[in-house]
Amino acid sequence: MTQTITRSYETYATARSVVEQLEASGVASADISLVGRDEAVVDPDRDSNAGEGAGIGAALGGAAGLLAGLGMIAIPGVGPVVAAGWLASTAAGAVAGGAAGGIVGAMTSAGVDERDAHYYAETVRRGGSVVSVRASDSQVAAVEAIMDGAVPIDMSDRRSAYEQEGWSRFDEQAPPYRPGV
């Protein structure tokens, strides 16, 4: 049986390191997804589209694995993000096809609880990065050890902080998040 294991991280660099460790441990690139903001690439002051970012993977991710396939997509309510993997493909397909849900829909279709999917989408909107892995039962413990070893954001604490600000769910109609604005 396959499980979807997802964690959010404060920085793209941490998420990227997690992806590299997962691949080094033998997790197939096809089973890993990364969606997040790398401020060296994503300029929040300009508009983007799903066609931008060709070659970003080679520049940022090295020559092999998931990171070699990085591209830039624009997700409604999030803005431009660096993304790769099955989650990114599903979200980009929903955006390109005009379907609602983008990142939330992609996550829930992969088995992520809807409330959690809204949290992950909001975390990306606010500048964080998300790594999601489809793991077989025999891989779960190793995948969780790698992902948790990188000190992910505590979902419960962060969600509570969002809710104290009045947040209740991801709003893809909201403008991209700008801290302090």
Contact between 39 and 28 under an 8 Å Cβ cutoff? The reply is: no
- Domain assignment of residue 100, yes or no: yes
- Domain assignment of residue 24, yes or no: yes
pLDDT, position 68: 67
Tell me which of 27 and 77 has the higher pLDDT.
27
- Domain assignment of residue 179, yes or no: no
- Domain assignment of residue 181, yes or no: no
Number of domains composing the chain: 1
Residue 18's nearest CA partner among 153, 152, 128, 123 is 152
Range of the domain at 14: 2-164
Q: Which helix (H) or strand (E) holds 178?
A: none
pLDDT, position 21: 97
Q: Which residues pair with 102 in a beta bridge?
A: none
- Domain assignment of residue 155, yes or no: yes
Tokens of 44: 């929040």
pLDDT at residue 28 above 60? yes
- Domain assignment of residue 178, yes or no: no
Contact between 76 and 170 under an 8 Å Cβ cutoff? The reply is: no
Tokens of 155: 């979902």
Q: Which residues pair with 3 in a beta bridge?
A: 135
- Domain assignment of residue 117, yes or no: yes
Query: Looking at this protein, which amino acid is placed at residue 87?
Result: L
- Domain assignment of residue 51, yes or no: yes
CB atoms within 10 A of CB 137: 9
In this prediction the pTM is: 0.79
Tens-digit pLDDT profile for residues 92-146: 554 444 434 577 888 888 888 999 999 999 999 898 999 999 999 999 999 999 9
Q: Is 153 helix (H, G, I), strand (E, B) or coil?
A: coil
**Cα angle 91, 79, 157; round to 5:** 85
Report the C-alpha gap between 49 and 139 in whole angstroms.
35
Tens-digit pLDDT profile for residues 10-23: 999 999 999 999 99
